[in-house]
Structure 1
């Protein structure tokens, strides 16, 4: 071994070698610069790397005779430009699978250039903030060349390498590159809010880097007993640990400990993980193993994408033919979360790109783009317009769910595209719509007899659920609701009932939702009358919940929305023997009107005339 800072690179490397560079915030930049300055006759060295923070100057054109970069994950302008210009390569691979490329001899390593902490009294250096695939590279490389950096934190887990495993040392202090979270915009905040609604207390989470992850973590600050099993931890994770939100008490794998493979963030984060026994840093093949991920109950995997097509295919490493990033851990964690008991794989992204001119929800993926995460992996897609639930949904239902969370200005165009390909029937007339009067998240949580329900708009994707709701009714319920006993709820009829123009008429429902399993419990709707100043109201409740106040809640919400929309009256027609329904209307202030039909009661509610806005 050599210990001086004057390395003989001609002895350590030869032309044509393949070398690995330490990753993320642990790239041995001073060591690589020394190699560049003293390469002499060395040529055609292949660098394999994942994402690296910092300059990545070895990918610049002036070094192309010395180096050729082969990136498993494209990060930074210089590497991205080199790949686009053909001076560098991109090799797609799951993060969990990269170490095996080294150990199996598919990409054998002649050397691994890494960064470590100074050795402890037992001769062990720590890989610090990046164990990830560095650990696998160290095990597989013929030579290990280490930059010893006093600024590298000491981390625990499987993060140590003994000095006897290192062939050459280069001593250079180097501040770790910091990533400071940018300010959050309104769109990102709303996405974070929606994602947080999918995270239960006691869940274990995985997040990535970027504004969306930062927003999600911010909106988890009121949760309880969260755990972390994530390839990456950031300042947002640190903040939730300090607040006591993340305590890992309810984890079912590595209980009591935050486990990860690398961290990037501020110096405060690097100081926080230093010699902190509550963190375990493990190799990517361990942390990203879908089997290990699935050992966490309620595993929530939160990742992002560049675009999503209407079948649920996820594009996240390329913009058309331009390779932009990499597969990373998205598939590992999506698969692991989908296998977890109560787990949820989530893709979160803004609905548009290029200042709102391009929809990220697309009928088909862009030419040249590739699918990273399949349509079978993802359970939820979240934009600033809501949550699309995809698990167990048909192509038709997926299309309508994803159109619902697309930007409103693109929804009609998307519906036309899927209608043209018969993914939705010709009688599906309206795009999904919000009911803004329900509040900022578009639905309301209800507690009825100790059970949780959601009150939300009926959506076009509810067509089959509405059929199931209809066929669940007894003859008595059908007689009271329809004054007859209809025997069929056809697909076309059901589609018409859920495909409502919610800006005019109104269709609300109360649903029982557990993950992706949804069952309609009650439906309330009103139809505008000819003069558009009044409406006719009707609702029906599943038998097992009748008498629990669902009709009252729906009616109260409809009255409120009718008032906000400037209607002046609401009418209802109820069979005379339906005393329970009559009571609901009368308690809400409806008055009986004279009727020539003794079997039916006519009711009306006068709404206050809306005040004229002052000029």
Structure 2
């Protein structure tokens, strides 16, 4: 290994036309780059390859266009983005897991790797520190390794070391690592974080990125248990969860007991936390991002974002039209890995709109020039501040309805009209999905009934097939008690009408059991508004195996509360006389029997005016409740 010089003799290390790699993320060797620029002499046309670099990115400035030609494998930073847009730099799309093979197979042979490492320890080993990712393969396959020894670089555990004998030249310069502070949260980002957290079961293993949404998700995981981490990157958000024991990696099925990552990015607090921390291990990208390895984690939950998603589920995340914005990175690696994982969940989470609410991120068709990064087959969930769209196993028509449901309300009618042009939604589907704001900010309520967890939420157009399945699950006796006759068919057209509800006027709620992408309706309650009398008529039906467990009672409580908020004067019901259980539900809720013209039917009524200012008790938006009747 060469002695430490004040500056390097770059004419002996590089030649014009060479290709060099620059260290990634928070490990950019700025002192090395400054030294190269200052002592380049006759060097020119050096191709620079790198992924995201948290730096001033000086090498991409037009001033140095004769010295450097930049080829970014992941665009990060405005300078690089602008240079790519102006044609002064190139962008090469590739999966993060496959970048190492570009180096090892000489598709992009490296003449030198410029990296930042910790000084050698007593055994002669330097740590790659906070950025192992593709730096590991770069130092392995480059003809020369040129290092900046930085005493401020954390020493991280895992496959994060290079021996000093492998380093051809170095300088030692202290350099504070760039910090990315925790983001400020707006309400819609908080909501997205809350929805995503509801998809994460105890014992899951997480992949998390950087930015507002991942940090918001982590904020809502404080009451979870036994979470694990297998992620291409980690941020400050994991620290408190690890210290509290929420993230303990105890149920991981791959590298149990360890948080596994390839790089970290955040504040000094994070860099100090990973320094010599045996509970966090850093591995190369080809290992961490390998879909096969990702899939070795059961219950792998992957959270990525997007620029736009079309109504078939195609994800655009590296470009805005013809303008390249970022890169493929690890999104496909982790989406594919989670798809193959037992109980895995690939999630795309994003705000519903862009440009101050003027543009929908959920679109009928992707913008001209945009490229699909993640295919419609890889995404199981799309989450916005308006809810969770479940796509796995859904037809194009069902996907469109699910995605319209989580689009911003002002774009839903337009999206439905656009998608109808392609015959994905039949003519009998007339309404777009609607919220029930009285259910609270989250738009659903989590229930514990008989030890099981259920969701109470509005019925929506995407439930058409599920409602059909619910209807055909009923016995003749249930159908007779609900409809007062024995209907024999629930056509798609009829089911569509029943799930296409103007929830601002009428009300249709359901209790569902959802396990991953498997959803089953357990109970439905609805009322129809009679505008002439400002009253409503209410009815219920419950799946047989859950009858007598209190689902009708919960739905009735909720509908009474909502009707009272809407200043409905009275609620009425017509129940067959032999339906003792349902009569009991109504009468316990305060309904009074009225004189009925039918001997086999009981007419009941509840006056709601007394509740207009003091609402009946109903489950809160996020509380769980255990009902057994």
**Range with greater deviation from structure 2 (167-176 or 528-537):** 528-537
Cα pair distance change 1:532/1:15, threshold 3 Å: farther
1:198-232 CA distances to partner (integer Å, 9 max, x unpaired)? 11111111111111111111111221211111110
Shift of 1:612: 8.5
Shift of 1:265: 0.8
Cα pair distance change 1:390/1:541, threshold 3 Å: same
Query: Retained in 1: the 8 A contact 2:565–2:612?
Result: no
Query: Retained in 2: the 8 A contact 1:21–1:28?
Result: yes
1-structure distance, mates of 2:275, 2:203: 26
Cα pair distance change 1:24/1:612, threshold 3 Å: closer
1:55-113 CA distances to partner (integer Å, 9 max, x unpaired)? 00100001111101101110111111110000100001111000000001111111111
Aligned equivalent of 1:354:
355
Aligned equivalent of 2:324:
323
Aligned equivalent of 2:268:
267
1-structure distance, mates of 2:613, 2:543: 40
2-structure distance, mates of 1:568, 1:396: 39
Where structure 1 has 5 or more consecutive residues not aligned to the other structure, the ranges are: none
2-structure distance, mates of 1:451, 1:210: 34
2-structure distance, mates of 1:157, 1:403: 44
1:299-349 CA distances to partner (integer Å, 9 max, x unpaired)? 111111111111111111001110000011111111111111111111110
Shift of 1:576: 1.7
- Give the SS at the match of 2:59: helix
Shift of 1:596: 2.1
Query: Retained in 2: the 8 A contact 1:70–1:88?
Result: yes
Aligned equivalent of 1:339:
340
**Range with greater deviation from structure 2 (125-134 or 446-455):** 446-455
Aligned equivalent of 2:484:
483
Structure 1 residues 357-368: aligned runs within 5 Å: 357-368=358-369
Aligned equivalent of 2:621:
none
1:427-466 CA distances to partner (integer Å, 9 max, x unpaired)? 1111101111112211111111111111111110000000
Where structure 2 has 5 or more consecutive residues not aligned to the other structure, the ranges are: 615-629
How many residue pairs get matched?
613
1-structure distance, mates of 2:612, 2:292: 61
Aligned equivalent of 2:2:
2
Structure 1 residues 215-614: aligned runs within 5 Å: 215-531=216-532, 533-608=534-609
Aligned equivalent of 1:112:
113
Shift of 1:591: 1.4
**Range with greater deviation from structure 2 (221-230 or 486-495):** 221-230
- Runs of 4+ aligned structure 1 residues displaced above 3 Å come to 609-613
Aligned equivalent of 1:61:
62
Shift of 1:472: 0.9
- Give the SS at the match of 1:146: strand
TM-score normalised to the size of structure 1? 0.98
1:484-513 CA distances to partner (integer Å, 9 max, x unpaired)? 111111101000000100110000111111
Shift of 1:609: 5.1
Query: Retained in 2: the 8 A contact 1:5–1:169?
Result: no
1:390-440 CA distances to partner (integer Å, 9 max, x unpaired)? 111111111111111111111111111111211111111111011111122
2-structure distance, mates of 1:151, 1:170: 14
Shift of 1:244: 2.1
Shift of 1:530: 3.7
Aligned equivalent of 2:104:
103
Aligned equivalent of 1:142:
143
1-structure distance, mates of 2:279, 2:548: 51
2-structure distance, mates of 1:396, 1:532: 38
Query: Retained in 2: the 8 A contact 1:101–1:107?
Result: yes
1-structure distance, mates of 2:191, 2:482: 39
Q: Confirm whether residue 164 of structure 1 aligns to residue 165 of structure 2.
A: yes
Structure 1 residues 161-200: aligned runs within 5 Å: 161-200=162-201
1:258-296 CA distances to partner (integer Å, 9 max, x unpaired)? 110001111111111111111111000000011111111
- Give the SS at the match of 2:400: helix
1:169-213 CA distances to partner (integer Å, 9 max, x unpaired)? 111111111111121111111111111111111111111111111
- Give the SS at the match of 2:158: coil
- Give the SS at the match of 2:157: coil
**Range with greater deviation from structure 2 (279-288 or 231-240):** 231-240
Shift of 1:569: 0.5
1-structure distance, mates of 2:343, 2:53: 34
Aligned equivalent of 2:618:
none
How large is the RMSD of aligned CA atoms in angstroms? 1.2
- Give the SS at the match of 1:175: coil
1:114-145 CA distances to partner (integer Å, 9 max, x unpaired)? 11100011111110100000001111111111
- Give the SS at the match of 1:78: helix
TM-score normalised to the size of structure 2? 0.96
